[in-house]
Structure 1
Amino acid sequence: MSLQDKALQLLSDSIRIGTHDWGLCNEYPPSSKLVAAVKFGLDDLVPDIWEEFRDDNEAVSEALQYASVQGNAKVVSFLLENHSEIGNALHLAAKKGHLEVVKIFHGAKTVLNMHSCDQMTPLMLASKAGYLDVVKLLVHHEANVNEVGPRKRTALHFSAEFGHSEVMKYLIQEGSRINAAADSVRTPLHLATQSAQLEAIQVLIGAKANPCAADKKSRTLLHFAASTGFMEAVEILITSGAEIDTLTADGRTAVQLAVYSGDLGTVRQLLQHHPVLEAPVGVSGETALHAAAALGSLDIVEELLKYKVNPNICRKDRRTPLHLAVQNGHIKVI
């Protein structure tokens, strides 16, 4: 056994029994000397021990994965020249943003739209992480911008959710469907709103995304923004045409959702756009004033009364806001 071979064997064995520092990490030990050489950056030894592992597909695939994660273009190039099984190596390189490694795979068009075990494509992974240069390269080599992944989401959904506005602009430019519906019929604009990604919302609205889109529970973008106190989004959506009085499937308005969240600022903002306040909605026929009184939100009750809301309006069970305040012991509201 050569000195190099012994060194690799000792390194691999020490990791297996936990005496090497890397053995203290929550990682699987290298399964072979080839993998150990790649994992620990002993690049020059890879060609020397290649013949021993040429036909060991499992070892070569694992080594290729490590090299891709590390962004080791030299080793990736060598392994691909001598091995045809790519596996998920491109996915790993795209996820980490290793542009030079991704370039090596440019001829492997069969894997550009291949899904990993979690149903992600390389383009989705790069878009989610915000690696614009990698996204551009993948699209240039014909990665499908509208490929559907986990929960029926596209690359645009992922970039919108994580607020990568430059990636979004490029994907839209290259033909991404702006109003593509993912699980629960949520569009990229839904995900941007839920994740409080203001710039992403501005990009999508600027590209004519539908501000009135609703999910399976009839929750619109405005409902999500109002319920989380995302005031900037509330203003953009209403200005762009979102309907303020639309009801969710369980009969809630944007104003009611803002009341439930206890966000006075958002309630005030919505009231400035003159929503309907006295029409009983939902199963109980509750108004925003009923909700505020039941919760004991004195400042919101006072704000609603400024808009001349009838304090004696009844729910379907004939209870007024005062009934609910008394029932819940909210003395200040009473």
Structure 2
Amino acid sequence: MSLKKESRTDVQFHLAALRGDCERLKQLLDTGKVHIDSRDRDGTTPLILSAAMGHTECVRELLAQGADPACCRTTGTSALFFAAQGGFLDIACLLVDCGAAIDAPSTDGGTPLFVACQCGHLPVVEELIRRGANVNSCMKDKATPLFIAAQNGHEEVCLALLAAGAAVDAARADRASPLWIAAQCGHQRVARALLAAGAHADKLRQDGATPLFKAAHKGHGAVVAELLKYKPNLGILPNGQSALHGAAMFGQLACVRLLARRRVAVGSDVVPVTTLRNAAGLTALQAAASAGKRDVVAYLKQLEHS
């Protein structure tokens, strides 16, 4: 997009939009010296600025005077994108009513729904869904609105997306699922909601780690407890470790306590998880000792002799 240099009047016009000075906007438009969709060096229009800052009256005035809601910055981000990001429901409704494309993507694939989910703006999320936003749209890395809501711990947003048909196991390009990212980030309530909606408890990321492994490794005991209700794989995973190994090696004693008394099927036998050996041939106790995790070592030794 080729952008001409801004005039002094253009700069004043943009400043009025940024500051929410509706009277100044009208004055400048009345001079006939500014174009309603004049752009700065980034392609930003006065409508985009007012929408981003939550200036409802300025948005209303600009739209009434013919501002194009489809105009985007060089990044592909529109006025609706910024209204959704800011949680400005009234402005989002005004823009859609005036023809703003509800699923217009930015250059990285993010839509208005995506940023509303990222920021946890539930009323905006619900309104965009009601007006037909695609709940299974994805960014270039394949992350969906559900994925980003799960990553940021927004339980109610996740529930709204799931109710609208979001794919519960739709994975990012690295095969991380919404449940996997919720487990990594320690979002217990989100993990609970995803599991209740049918999320695959053992869905692997490309490195061979499950949600349980990641939660245990990070020390998120509440998430581990949620996952254990769904009988996840406690054995050796494709990454060469068990969830217990992950907790033990990183000194996550609370998670070790949740996992260490459990048993796992190995062939035709059922054995204590503490007897499993990782890809390096170490038990969880040995792995903890190697990593210098003394409290974990003490606990597992005590368990051995109990």
- Shift in Å at residue 287 of structure 1? 0.7
Cα deviations by residue, 1:166-213 (Å, 9 ceiling, x for unpaired): 111111111111010013111111111111122211211221211111
- Give me the TM-score of the superposition, normalised by structure 2: 0.85
SS at match of 1:185: coil
* Residues 9, 34 of structure 2: 8 Å contact kept: no
Relative to structure 1, the CA distance from residue 316 to residue 253 in structure 2 (aligned partners, 3 Å threshold; closer, same or farther) is same
- Shift in Å at residue 104 of structure 1? 2.0
> Could you tell me the percent identity over the aligned residues?
26
* Residues 155, 193 of structure 2: 8 Å contact kept: no
- Shift in Å at residue 158 of structure 1? 0.8
2:266 corresponds in structure 1 to none
- Give me the TM-score of the superposition, normalised by structure 1: 0.78
Q: In 1, Cα distance between the equivalents of 2:6 and 2:153?
A: 45
* Residue 282 (str. 1) matches residue 245 (str. 2): no
- Shift in Å at residue 112 of structure 1? 1.2
SS at match of 1:181: coil
Among candidates 191, 198, 201, match of residue 158 of structure 2: 201
2:214 corresponds in structure 1 to 257
Name the aligned partner's letter for residue 144 of structure 1: A
- Shift in Å at residue 108 of structure 1? 6.4
2:169 corresponds in structure 1 to 212
Cα deviations by residue, 1:109-164 (Å, 9 ceiling, x for unpaired): 67312112443210001111111111111100100001011421000001111111
Measured on the aligned residues, the alpha-carbon RMSD in Å equals: 1.9
Among candidates 253, 260, 281, match of residue 318 of structure 1: 281
Q: How does 1:14-93 map to 2 (within 5 A)?
A: 58-81=7-30, 82-85=32-35, 86-87=37-38, 88-93=45-50
* Residues 10, 34 of structure 2: 8 Å contact kept: no
Q: Which has the higher helix share?
A: 1
Q: 158-167 vs 261-270, which deviates more? A: 261-270
- Shift in Å at residue 289 of structure 1? 1.6
Q: 194-203 vs 171-180, which deviates more? A: 194-203
2:269 corresponds in structure 1 to none
Q: In 2, Cα distance between the equivalents of 1:171 and 1:191?
A: 16
Structure scoring higher RCO (CA < 8 A, sep ≥ 6) equals 2
- Shift in Å at residue 245 of structure 1? 0.6
* Residues 225, 233 of structure 1: 8 Å contact kept: yes
* Residues 268, 303 of structure 1: 8 Å contact kept: yes
Name the aligned partner's letter for residue 311 of structure 1: T
SS at match of 2:276: coil
What count of residue pairs does the alignment treat as equivalent?
Answer: 277
* Residues 218, 247 of structure 2: 8 Å contact kept: no
2:267 corresponds in structure 1 to none
Relative to structure 1, the CA distance from residue 109 to residue 149 in structure 2 (aligned partners, 3 Å threshold; closer, same or farther) is farther
- Shift in Å at residue 105 of structure 1? 2.3
Q: In 2, Cα distance between the equivalents of 1:230 and 1:136?
A: 31
Relative to structure 1, the CA distance from residue 316 to residue 153 in structure 2 (aligned partners, 3 Å threshold; closer, same or farther) is same
SS at match of 1:105: helix
Cα deviations by residue, 1:237-271 (Å, 9 ceiling, x for unpaired): 00001000111000001110011111222212211
1:291 corresponds in structure 2 to 246
SS at match of 1:257: helix
- Shift in Å at residue 315 of structure 1? 2.1
* Residues 109, 141 of structure 1: 8 Å contact kept: no
